[in-house]
Structure 1
Amino acid sequence: MPPDWQLSVWITSLVDNWSVLDEVGKVLASNYFAPKVAAIILVCLWFGTRNYARREYNQKVIVGVAVGTALGFIVAESLCLIQDQTGDFWNRPYLNHDEAKFAMEKLYFPLPDSSFPSNAMCGLAAIATGIGFADRRAAIAVWILVALWAFGRMYVGVHYPVDIAGGILIGATCALIGRYAVLRFDHTLSWLLAKARMFYMA
């Protein structure tokens, strides 16, 4: 078990004490709330200004975000596959602790893959890091979503804090790589965005 398992047990032990907190935790843990809000923010950044130069810059940043997010998922999934192949599987909290099992059964559902790293945090952290190059306020908003989603996932017993930290680290690192990759193909991307504008897609 990870060294932070006691914190995980304490968080999941809060379940069933306050019905309002349970409902909030259930919403925050879902795969709908945080990703959908993040998607809305990305769309607003993509189309959200009439300034041609600024809009193209934002769009290039978002392409970098997409590259970084995809790379982050590849890294996270590769780590899960390695664990499957080696048999050194990182169990989710609900498989190790009664408190987490109760929380998962009451508020969520079992997940078949490894607990480490958190794929969810990997993706959202990549978005939060990447869009910081375009709009700091938007980045702060997504980092708040990261924190809320992280709490929700721990609250329902599907992640340890170290799973969250690992996912965030991978996502943020891959976002920086994605940003660098986009800068290397700046002229090509400008041409592609010009073509996309012909179809009102950029």
Structure 2
Amino acid sequence: MALSDTVALAISGVGTAGIIWFVLATVLFLKEEKKDHWFFIPVLAAGGTSWLMVEKIIKPLIARPRPTFEMGAIILGNNLPDYSFPSGHATIAWALATVLAHKEPKWKTFFFILAFLISFSRMYIGKHYPLDVIGGGLLGWGIGRLSIDKTAKYLSRLFK
């Protein structure tokens, strides 16, 4: 296996279930001098909403086959039995990159480069079409923004 294949599989694996984003959120929380315990609410809202929207609503509704089933594409890693559009990895990556970038603006470039790499890796390893990751990225960014805005509004009303 080529080095680029190994790197793409590793990046894709890092994005699985959004685990890297929750690790990064925990690191950001732990390094703060003044702990913002409410910080995890938009993180959980963005991650949970992304997963729910993609896996339980949009993918079954659109039911677009993955490239391996439609084109006989060669993939790296396991062949997945579910649908392709939108990419769950891309949706979660962009949603949580948006939330973390809002929390820690000086790390914004890092978060969005990581989201891009996770998204690109899904195409590289043959799991998604370009439109799957573009659609997932846009959906994720929107979910991230809504999570920031709605949780801030809710928390400000709750603690008036």
Q: Quick check: 2:90–2:140 contact (8 Å CA) kept in 1? A: yes
Change (3 A) 1:132 1:168: same
Partner Cα distance (2:7, 2:17) in 1: 13
Corresponding residue to 1:170 among 136, 139, 146: 139
Structure 1 residues 188 and 48: CA distance shift in structure 2, 3 A:
farther
Q: CA 1:124 to 1:189, structure 2 compared with 1: closer, same or farther past 3 Å? A: farther
Select the structure of larger CA radius of gyration. 1
Q: Which one of 85, 89, 95 corresponds to residue 126 of structure 1?
A: 95
1:95 aligns with 2:69: yes
The gaps in structure 2 that reach 5 residues or longer are: none
2:21 counterpart (18, 21, 38): 38
Q: Partners in 2 of 1:156 and 1:190 — Cα distance?
A: 46
Instruction: List structure 1 runs of 4+ shifted beyond 6 angstroms.
Output: 188-191
For residue 31 of structure 1, report the CA deviation from its aligned partner.
4.7
Partner amino acid, structure 1, of 2:71 = H
Matched residue, 2:44:
66
- Secondary structure in structure 1 of the residue aligned to 2:103: coil
What residue identity is the alignment partner of 1:76? V
CA contact (8 A) 2:12 2:122 kept: yes
1:47 paired with 2:30, answer: yes
> What is the aligned partner in structure 2 of residue 80 from structure 1?
59
Query: 1:45 and 1:82, CA in 2 relative to 1: closer, same or farther beyond 3 A?
Result: same
Unpaired runs of 5+ residues, structure 1, are 1-15, 84-88, 192-202
User: Can you list the C-alpha shifts for 1:119-152, whole angstroms capped at 9, x where unaligned?
Assistant: 1111111111112221123332221111211222
Distance in 1, matches of 2:94 and 2:71, equals 27
Q: Structure 1: how far apart are the matches of 2:67 and 2:16?
A: 22
TM-score by length of 1: 0.69
Match of 2:77 in 1: 108
Name the amino acid aligned to 1:128. A
Paired with 2:5 and 2:145, the residues of 1 have a C-alpha distance of: 35
Query: Are 1:29 and 2:12 matched, yes or no?
Result: yes
Alpha-carbon distance in 1 for matches of 2:132, 2:78: 18
May I ask how many residue pairs the two structures share in their alignment? Answer: 159
SS at the partner of 1:30? helix
Using the aligned pairs only, state the percent identity.
23
Shift of 1:60: 3.1
- Please report the RMSD computed on the Cα atoms of aligned residues, expressed in angstroms: 2.4
Structure 1 position 79, deviation (Å): 0.9
- Structure having greater relative contact order (Cα 8 Å, sep ≥ 6): 1
